Amino acid sequence: MAAADHSALPQSAVPPSGLTRTGFVRTIFHVDMDAFFVSVEELYDPSLKGKAVVVGGQRDERGVVSAASYEARKFGVHSAMPLRTAAKMCAHAIFVNGHPERYREFSEKVYKVLGTFSPQVEMASIDEAYLDMTGTERLHGPPLKCAHALHERMKAETRLNCSVGIGTSRLIAKVSSAQAKPNGVLYIVPGQEAKFLAPLDVREIPGVGKVMESHLHALGIKKVGDLARLEESELEDRFGKWGLALAGKSRGQDAGGWFDNEVGADLDAKSISHEHTYNEDTADVNQLEATLMRLSEMVCRRLREANFYARTVQLKLRYKDFTTITRAHTLTSPTQLDTEIFEQIRMLFRKNWKKGMQVRLLGVQTSHFAEQPEQINLLESTRQQRWKDALAAADKLRDKYGESSVKLAAGMRGTFRERTHENPASLPGKGKSKAEWDKTGSAKPDSSKSG
């Protein structure tokens, strides 16, 4: 593609300057809950209020911070920081284990409140959402008034604070909600997008992380305004497709990829995975394969819930020194059966694990989903049906009595050993273990389940 041929840019779905195809200015809200995990924990334990709180695990554990209270942030603690680092920076902080069920529950409450303002709601993660409020002025009044009403209703219904950003694109809404934090509302008037963005650090643009930031800094580009002054063709030459999107973003446009989707468009999951990091590295084959069995089961269970059949199975293997490999295999016939997924995973593991090498993390990922597997011969399919029935029954038991109540015989041997000394919390009667954190809540809440 010629660099100057901008007609090929991916801007057809949303024309520049926030106009819809029919010519109206789009009004997008981005609603972001303030310190979501911490705030939910405070509702369960009010004594945490106003204190330095770190959610994600205990101070001496292998792991990272999921969320930190504003009090803890004053000491430099932020999410994704190792727990042990956080403990050093903020010795008096209170460390709290995460409770994903609680967050999912509150996420659904949030979703319900948002649904009373617009039919086009899209949960972008467990604690943030986009709303298309285009054309709702008659019903809800002008954007700022509406946003304040939303803010109040959210507080009344969930006892949680949020921040709201309003703009003519997802990008502007998202960036402005971040500027509005905490507990604020910010409206970027149509036409003022570039002016609003110009003084911000390039890092404020969603999609610009550590690496891109340092590339840009090397070019002397620090602020979004610097970026906007550059020629699109130069950005494209240097950074390819991404550079082109970046040029659009610097002017406030939803250029390319997911950003161009209509708000609320139904996006099917592309992959389902589970992984586990050991508290202590191990080279014990039994323990390793038992973990792979357990991860395969967890993944397959979710495949069945979603009625997906996976064609591609991927093993993730991280050694003591943090070097990480992934090895994938694509099946001729898609599946959602524990035994078949595990068989592939175990083959990949045996072929690629360097025997005796200490392992830090194992992961199982499935992707390339199909609705139904191609039908194979009759004998094979009745055999599979029996497995399916058995697994459905097992899923039900797990719902009733907990994740650890049912085990397939093949996974028994090493599994028991692993569970007893590495993971006592997952024994019957002790509730869900941290290892079984299941962030399905990060996807859009499933209204068919909740209502």
Partner DNA sequence: TCTGGGGTCCTAGGACCC
Rule CB under 7 A: choose which of 9, 48, 77, 126 binds DNA: 126
Q: Are 132 and 263 in contact (CB under 8 A)?
A: yes
Q: At what angle do helices 338-352 and 378-401 cross, to 10 degrees?
A: 90
**Rounded Cα gap, residues 169 and 365, in angstroms:** 33
Smallest CA-to-CA distance from 278 within 365, 364, 358, 366 is with 358
- Which candidate in 128, 193, 297, 403 is catalytic? 128
> Binding segment for DNA among 38-46, 388-396, 417-425, 440-448 (CB under 7 A)?
440-448
Q: Are 175 and 204 in contact (CB under 8 A)?
A: yes
Does the active-site annotation cover 128?
yes
Omega of the bond leading into 182 within 30 degrees of 0 (cis): yes
Rule CB under 7 A: choose which of 34, 226, 275, 446 binds DNA: 275
Considering only residues 5 to 34 of the shown chain, the ones binding DNA according to CB under 7 A are: none
Rule CB under 7 A: choose which of 8, 325, 357, 397 binds DNA: 325
**Rounded Cα gap, residues 317 and 221, in angstroms:** 37
On the 0-12 / 13-18 / 19+ scale of CB atoms within 10 A, 42 is buried
Q: How far is the CB of 25 from DNA (least distance, A)?
A: 24
Rule CB under 7 A: choose which of 102, 140, 238, 368 binds DNA: 368
* Backbone torsions φ then ψ of 22, nearest 5 degrees: -90, 0
Does residue 253 touch DNA according to CB under 7 A?
A: no
Does residue 287 touch DNA according to CB under 7 A?
A: no
Residues 6+ apart with CB under 8 A from 201: 222, 223, 224
Considering only residues 345 to 364 of the shown chain, the ones binding DNA according to CB under 7 A are: 360-361, 363
Nearer to DNA, 135 or 277 (CB): 277
Nearer to DNA, 195 or 351 (CB): 351
Does residue 85 touch DNA according to CB under 7 A?
A: yes
DSSP assignment, residue 324?
A: E
Does residue 321 touch DNA according to CB under 7 A?
A: yes
Rule CB under 7 A: choose which of 170, 251, 274, 301 binds DNA: 274
Does residue 417 touch DNA according to CB under 7 A?
A: no
Rule CB under 7 A: choose which of 58, 125, 161, 179 binds DNA: 125
| The two structure tokens encoding residue 79 | 């999410």
Rule CB under 7 A: choose which of 209, 424, 428, 431 binds DNA: 209
Nearer to DNA, 41 or 136 (CB): 41
Residues 6+ apart with CB under 8 A from 273: 299, 314, 316, 363, 364, 365, 366
On the 0-12 / 13-18 / 19+ scale of CB atoms within 10 A, 431 is exposed
Kindly determine how many residues on this chain lie close enough to bind DNA according to the rule CB under 7 A: 65
Q: How far apart are the first and last CA of the chain?
A: 49
Does residue 273 touch DNA according to CB under 7 A?
A: yes
- List contacts with DNA (CB under 7 A): 62-64, 66, 79-80, 82, 84-85, 88, 124-128, 206-213, 240-242, 256-258, 267, 269-277, 298, 302, 311-312, 314, 321-322, 324-330, 360-361, 363, 367-368, 435, 437-440, 442-443
Just list the catalytic residues. 128
